[in-house]
Amino acid sequence: MQISSSIQNLMSATSSKTAAADAGTQASTARFTVTPDPLSPESLSSGPLSSEPSSKDRIYADYDLNNISPREIDELADRLRENGSYEFKEMMMLETRGERFTQHLQDSLRDAGILDEITFEPTRRFDYLGSAADQIELSRRHGDPTEMAQDNLDALRDIHQRSEEIRTAERAPVGTGAALTRSLFAFQTAEI
Phi-psi region at 106: left, alpha or beta (left = phi > 0; alpha = psi -120 to 50): alpha
pLDDT reading at 175 higher than 60: no
| Model confidence at 44: pLDDT above 70 | no
Question: Of 50-54, 125-129, 188-192, which gets the smallest average pLDDT?
Answer: 188-192
Compute the distance between CA of residue 163 and CA of residue 44 in angstroms, rounded to an integer: 12
Minimum mean pLDDT among 46-55, 57-66, 159-168: which range? 46-55
What average pLDDT is seen over the chain? Answer: 76
**Phi then psi dihedrals of residue 150, to 5 deg:** -65, -40
Residue 186 is predicted with a pLDDT of: 65
Given CA atoms 97, 100, 74, 119 in this order, what sign does their dihedral have?
negative
Rounded CA-CA distance 77/93 in Å is 10
Q: Quick check: 154 and 181 in contact, CB under 8 A?
A: no
